[in-house]
């Protein structure tokens, strides 16, 4: 499964970028040394970022 078909980014690639500090889709792209092409994946990336932040907040409680 791909999050970004244009750049071949998988959920694990997005997760690694988030673990490295990415908080926006453009930072996910930069971490993976690519850029948005068609931008269809941006909404899904935002959701993954938000879900990850929420899970970290719950884990910290």
Q: In the prediction, which pLDDT does 55 show?
A: 95
Domain ranges of the chain: 11-60
- What is the full per-residue pLDDT of the chain (61 aa) written as tens digits? 999 999 999 999 999 999 999 999 999 999 999 999 999 999 999 999 999 999 999 998 8
pTM of the predicted model as reported, rounded to 2 decimal places: 0.92
Q: In the prediction, which pLDDT does 60 show?
A: 87
Indicate the DSSP class of residue 41: T
Q: Are 6 and 37 in contact (CB under 8 A)?
A: yes
């Amino acid at each position: 499964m791909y999050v970004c078909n244009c750049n071949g980014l998988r959920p694990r690639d997005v997760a690694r970028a988030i673990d490295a500090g990415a908080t926006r889709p453009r930072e996910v792209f930069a971490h993976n040394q690519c850029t948005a092409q068609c931008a269809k994946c941006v909404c899904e990336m935002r959701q993954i970022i938000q879900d990850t932040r929420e899970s970290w907040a719950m884990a910290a409680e």
